[in-house]
A and B are shown apart, each in its own frame.
Chain A
Amino acid sequence: MLRIALLMLFRDRAKYVMLVVGLTFCALLMTQQASVFCGLMLWTTATVRNIGAKVWVFDAKVEQVNEVIPLREIEVTRVRSIPGVEWAVPLYLGIEQARLGDGSFQNVQLTGLDTATFVGRPMEITKGRIEDLRLPDAVIIDQVGVDKFRKKGIKIDIGTTFEINDKRAQVVALCHDNRSFLAQPYVFTTYDRALQYAKPQRKMLSCVLVEPRPGVSAQELADRISTVPGLHAFSRDDLFWTTIWWYIKNTGIPISFGTVVIMGVIVGIAIAGQTFYLFILDNLRYLAALKAMGARMPILAAMVFLQSFSVGFVGFGFGVGFTTIFGYRVLKLEQPPFFMPWQVPVFVALIIMLICCFSAAVGLRQIAKLEPAVVFK
């Protein structure tokens, strides 16, 4: 009878298409919005992923990576003295103003790397050499910067000069890394030079990057460092999730995306539920005939659930497929943010299943109430 159920569904083209379109739209809305949300959250952790150190040490009051409170330089030495630390290097992070040749400005995320080791170096140097960062006024700029300057009519290449806080900077290499939440270009230089570019403050060290000794886990070391007064250390994973949770708790982003996802669920229930209910109502006299002919309720329930889930499966496939195409296109353009972890389609599949269950249950209620004798009326 399951084959019969599918034939009844597929051949009622108008309703089938309506059901699939409704669930496709619902799945598309939920998957796309959830993926953009995940992408946006991922952008907030760009610094963590770009630098990639195993343990990060900040001021004790720091809550996430994009809001640093400067430390004293001496903290690097204090951290190095803690048992389990293999090495520790300083890092400067700050938003500075770059002035271009034509006088226009662009905020940049200035990252000062340890001069000796370049720990936290860009993920991929696309042009030039990292070693050239030791040359006078040398900086490395990422692709976001290249694109932003290009839009302003300035071509950035090796040898291009601009100013950061009125001090000369010369591009010695181009790199590719993860885009930041505010989409500001990353400009890498040495730690010492970064301090020269930055506006002077009493404390200038943003954080200390630490490598644990072999046999010491990052979390274990982070916990140990956090016992030092005035310091708070995070393992990379901890900092990644702490940053994301900070944005979830302290911004309206989840509410706005969550609202759209809920709207997707409502649209799905409204369209799919209503259309499926109408489909059942249209077929009620035939289902009653089947009941009279000896179809038991479990068989009819299986038929209805199969119909509902097959529509859900197709709608889910189309929805996720269209989102994937959308993601493929926007990832090339690098905006809007887009990241679809496996949890997103699984979550959407569960929601679609719930919608299908709801739709089928509403239809089944009608069938359960149906007396087979009504076929004689």
Chain B
Amino acid sequence: MSDPIPAPESPVAVRVEKVVKTFPNGDTPTYALRDVSFAALAGQLTMIVGPSGCGKTTLLSVICGTLAIDSGRIEVFGHDLGTMRDAEITAFRSRNVGFIFQQFNLIPTLTLVENASIPLILQGCPHRKAEEKAAAVLTELGLGTRIRSFPKQLSGGQQQRVAIARALVHDPRLIICDEPTASLDAKTGHHALELLRQKALRPDRCVIVVTHDSRIFSFADSIAEMEDGRVIKSCPAPEYRHA
């Protein structure tokens, strides 16, 4: 099913070096990322924080290979995304990246177990086997009795748990979370981050969370702060909070 990734020689899971990304805007391009360098370590939950429009989501997009860069270098678990073709990046993403989207993006016409099994099915896993595994992960996340429910029958917090299950079901090495608490109230958001740390963090796995919700900074191991397309500060979380 998934090709094993060679064990990293360094604990650096994601390395971003001098990345520039622009978007066309008339004659003058708009810089979304300006010479960004940043690293996320395996076994850690790294948060990318900053005000709206500072380039957090763009950085997240280029890290997972859904957006091409203009220049620079991105390495994910030793794989240089710049040397890979589109199809290879897609396959790499399918095997090694789990996504938790801001709006969850659970398909409303599919049950929880069907939603959660999609990453496995995308890798060619038979439906029955994929659903069995998805059901196990959903049970682990406390949704064992609701696996045949539809997303709209759940609360926001429960939907977030389904999104976490979908991100974890195929055992990826990199988990990407885009504003995971934006659609949740403070308490539910707090609980979701607790769950994420508890279930997603492993020594060989890197979790990157993009957020501007300062209430959840305490869940981070390290924090990279962005402003105007640049990483202006990148340090361990206690140091960041202290500063």
Interface residues of A (CB under 8 A from B): 1, 3-4, 7-8, 11-12, 283, 285-286, 288-296, 299, 371-373, 375-377
Contacts and interface: CB of A to CB of B under 8 A. Distances in A.
B118 A4 contact: yes
Given A293-B93, A377-B57, 16 more contacts: A4-B107, A8-B110, A286-B105, A286-B107, A290-B122, A292-B64, A292-B66, A292-B93, A294-B90, A294-B91, A294-B95, A295-B122, A296-B91, A373-B67, A375-B105, A376-B102
A376 B119 CA distance: 18
A296 B91 CA distance: 8
Contacts of B119: 293-294
A294 B178 contact: no
B108 to A, nearest CB: 8
Nearest to A296: B90
Contacts of B109: 7-8, 11-12
A296 B119 CA distance: 12
Given A11-B109, A285-B105, A4 B95 contact: no
B122 A373 contact: no
Contact of A289 (B57, B67, B99): B99
Contacts of B118: 1, 4, 290, 293
Interface of B: 57, 60-61, 64, 66-67, 87, 90-91, 93-95, 97, 99, 101-103, 105, 107, 109-110, 114, 118-119, 121-123, 127, 178
A1 B93 contact: no
A376 B87 contact: no
B149 to A, nearest CB: 13
A376 B109 CA distance: 21
B121 A1 contact: yes
A108 B103 CA distance: 77
Nearest to A286: B107
A375 B177 CA distance: 11
Contacts of A3: 127
Nearest to B123: A294
B91 A372 contact: no
Nearest to B91: A294
A372 B107 CA distance: 16
B122 A371 contact: no
B122 A376 contact: no
Contacts of A12: 109
Of B90, B95, B109, B119, the most chain A CB neighbours within 10 A belong to B109
Given A1-B122, A293-B93, A373 B61 contact: yes
Nearest to A285: B105
Contacts of A7: 109-110, 114
B33 to A, nearest CB: 13
A369 to B, nearest CB: 14
Contacts of B64: 292
Contacts of B178: 375-376
Contacts of A288: 105
B95 A371 contact: no
Contacts of B102: 376
A101 B66 CA distance: 89
Contacts of A371: 66-67
A164 B200 CA distance: 98
